[in-house]
Structure 1
Amino acid sequence: MAAEESLTDTVGFLLGKLGQQANVRFADRLAPLGLRPRHCAVLELLSGGPRAQLELAKAVGVTASVVVDMLDELEQLDAVRRVRDTADRRRQLIELTPTGRELRHQTLSLARQNDEELLSAISPAEAAALLHTLGRIAAATGLIAK
């Protein structure tokens, strides 16, 4: 007799549950820095250079008012600063400060620690293959640029 199919045997379910667990663990690691996982997306996007607030909101997938709150929080940590766009004085650009660049490096280190913990049940080769495969899927679905 065949085993009954289960939702827990689907990729979407497992990725969702693992993603929740990874986010909770990552948030715990970030808390001493005064950061939350959503701040990391902004720090990462700004590592490529200044961006407009609305552009950040679209890239992170939040409303303009949410990104303003996030930027206010990051500004309190001296991680970002708002500057006037020299090409369009009506627009503000957001840029990383030296503190923001350092925080970004710290968050990357914490993310790597999180990965090591999550992937401890598999071999380094399996972990590398998983990361490669997830990267391909994320790129194919437009979640990341590759």
Structure 2
Amino acid sequence: MASERSGGTAPASSAPDTTSPCDEAAASALSDSRLALLLARHGGVTDAWIREALTASGVTPRHAVVLMQLNGGQLGQRELGTLLCVDPSILVTLLNALEDRNLVRRQRDPADRRRHIVEITEAGTAAVAEFDAAIGRVEDELFADFTPRERDTLRLLLARVRTTHVGPCDISPAADG
């Protein structure tokens, strides 16, 4: 991965690389001038590396996020969906897959039969430890050139990036008024 860190490509795959270094350099120079494109390029690389790291544990990034959230203790299913900003139907699909692998358990709340309680299992906790270490190795590679303070700053800045679309992107200058 070290040789790939600044190149903007995912780890080696079976597909042949048909792009020339000049093509990549030109595309990189153009996209590096726009923060959104730069973030998208690095996000794509990071996503590929994370997916590769999670392969051994057999979970997807979305499954990993659910398990990490539940690792702090049991939650109501609706509360979990709210915390994760996940549509209830998507959450059910994620939980079904995790439950099928005995990584989470759902049960009715004895105090309110309409409510489901979701908790991580022992196998789920073991999976979190395994993939958390794998994600840590990816982060160490991605941010090898960063100081701990720079990593903290990046974390704070990324937490402020708006990733929820609330309106049209094509706002005319007159509307800014």
The corresponding residue for 2:137 is 113
Are the aligned partners of 1:85 and 1:93 in contact in 2 as well (CA < 8 Å)? yes
Matched, 1:135 2:155: yes
Q: How big is the alpha-carbon RMSD for the aligned residues of Structure 1 and Structure 2?
A: 2.1
Equivalent pairs, count: 135
Q: Which has the higher helix share?
A: 1
Q: Give, in whole Å, the separation in 1 of the partners of 2:150 and 2:35.
A: 13
| Local SS of the residue matching 1:21 | helix
Q: Give, in whole Å, the separation in 2 of the partners of 1:87 and 1:10.
A: 52
Matched, 1:99 2:119: no
The corresponding residue for 2:62 is 38
Are the aligned partners of 1:34 and 1:77 in contact in 2 as well (CA < 8 Å)? no
The corresponding residue for 2:40 is 16
Taking structure 1 as reference, are residues 139 and 25 closer, same or farther at Cα in structure 2, changes over 3 Å only?
A: closer
Matched, 1:71 2:95: yes
Gaps of 5+ in 2: 1-28, 164-177
In the superposition, the TM-score normalised over structure 1's length comes to 0.81
Instruction: Report deviation, 1:129.
Output: 2.6
Identity of aligned residues (%): 30
Q: Deviations over 1:35-77 (max 9, x none)?
A: 0001111011111211122222222222111111111111122
Taking structure 1 as reference, are residues 104 and 77 closer, same or farther at Cα in structure 2, changes over 3 Å only?
A: same
In the superposition, the TM-score normalised over structure 2's length comes to 0.68
Are the aligned partners of 2:70 and 2:120 in contact in 1 as well (CA < 8 Å)? yes
Taking structure 1 as reference, are residues 141 and 8 closer, same or farther at Cα in structure 2, changes over 3 Å only?
A: closer
Q: Give, in whole Å, the separation in 1 of the partners of 2:69 and 2:162.
A: 16
| Local SS of the residue matching 2:126 | helix
Higher CA-based Rg: 2
Gaps of 5+ in 1: none
What amino acid does structure 1 have at the position aligned with 2:157? I
